[in-house]
Structure 1
Amino acid sequence: MTERQVTLVPAEEADFPEFKRELQAAFSLPLMELLGEVPKGAIPSDEDLDGMMSAENAQVLHILHDGRKVGGAVVTINEETQENSLDLLYMAVGNHSRGLGQAAWLAIEAMFPNTRSWETHTPYFEKRNIHFYVNVCGFQIVEYFHARHPGSHEPRPEGMPENGEMFRFIKKMTP
């Protein structure tokens, strides 16, 4: 693929069931590759996703390439502080390693140009995500959640790789 431009389109509530299924499939893939199964509670449930997608200031976005849905994102925008969060970002199964994630992230940054900083999280075992956020998108790891520093990610699902340890990332935007 030579053209990596994507567009972002707000998702309608009627789109949420399909959005959740695609996200859950995308989040399951690395666990299946690593463990051969998805531990119970490892993937956000419909109820958890409903909460994230309907949270105050949350925006649910489809990621489109050539008019076709290739992924999605949920961002929370704090209009007052402009310290925003990338709550969920996924590329649908079959759309990885094509530059679409980077293009989607650049489109998200362009959509919210007043952002002072972005925050996101990813599991410790997700090396591809860590590479993406640090080396491709310019985030910095600022916190490491583990048994002695659990943060807000407790309780962890049983059977998760690396005991469900997580990283927190921040990207400071230039004014």
Structure 2
Amino acid sequence: MNDDIVLLPLTDDDREQFIKDNQEAFRYGATEEFGLRDDHFEEDGEIISHKTISDSIDAGKAYRIMLGNEKVGGVVIQTDGEHGDLDLLFVSPKAHSLGIGYRAWCAVEKMHPEVKLWETVTPYFEKRNIHFYVNRCGFRIVEFFNSHHKGPHDDEDFEMFRFEKRIER
């Protein structure tokens, strides 16, 4: 079933569109949850800033999620031996509920069989993401960052869940 999903390394000429597509996906999730009154923005109407995405791409490996010849999402990961960080995973709102995110995640795991512990975070309000990570991909919520328990970026007052997935092989 993964045959129709391919992860292609992000190219320089697609970088800006990748960032815009990622912002659209996050903006969609926030609008679904809060409507147009959302106040969870990092910059000028964006849930996730251009800089945040760009820094993630620069620090990791970025891939376009392709369904046939169509760009339907993206993923950014970092790996170091048996440890992996899922920095970003997004699917275009136009392609939601087709199993694309799950198949893309399976492709990431297959690409990195050496990784035994994956970690990621998602905003507390992203119910769709929380469902995806816990119920579809097998992650566990292990930490909740908030004003009483700061995350790795202590200057941020943004509520986030941290997830882990341990893989026994």
2:19 corresponds in structure 1 to 20
Does structure 2 retain, via aligned residues, the 8 Å contact 1:7–1:64? yes
Aligned length: 164
1:122 corresponds in structure 2 to 122
- C-alpha distance in 1, partners of 2:155/2:26? 19
1:168 corresponds in structure 2 to 162
If each structure's helix is expressed as a fraction of its own residues, which one has the higher value?
A: 2
TM-score, normalization by structure 2: 0.89
Does structure 2 retain, via aligned residues, the 8 Å contact 1:4–1:103? no
Letter in 2 for 1:166: M
1:136 corresponds in structure 2 to 136
| Cα RMSD (Å) | 1.8
Post-superposition offset of 1:150? 1.2
1:69 aligns with 2:71: yes
- C-alpha distance in 1, partners of 2:153/2:2? 38
Structure 1 residue runs of 4 or more that deviate by more than 6 Å after TM superposition: none
Does structure 2 retain, via aligned residues, the 8 Å contact 1:75–1:86? yes
Letter in 2 for 1:93: P
TM-score, normalization by structure 1: 0.86
Structure 1, unmatched stretches of 5+, are 158-163
Deviations 1:92-139 (A, max 9, x none): 120101111111111111111111111000111111111100010000
1:49 corresponds in structure 2 to 53
Q: What fraction of aligned residue pairs are identical, expressed as a percent? A: 40
- C-alpha distance in 2, partners of 1:147/1:29? 25
- C-alpha distance in 2, partners of 1:67/1:112? 24
- C-alpha distance in 2, partners of 1:87/1:43? 15
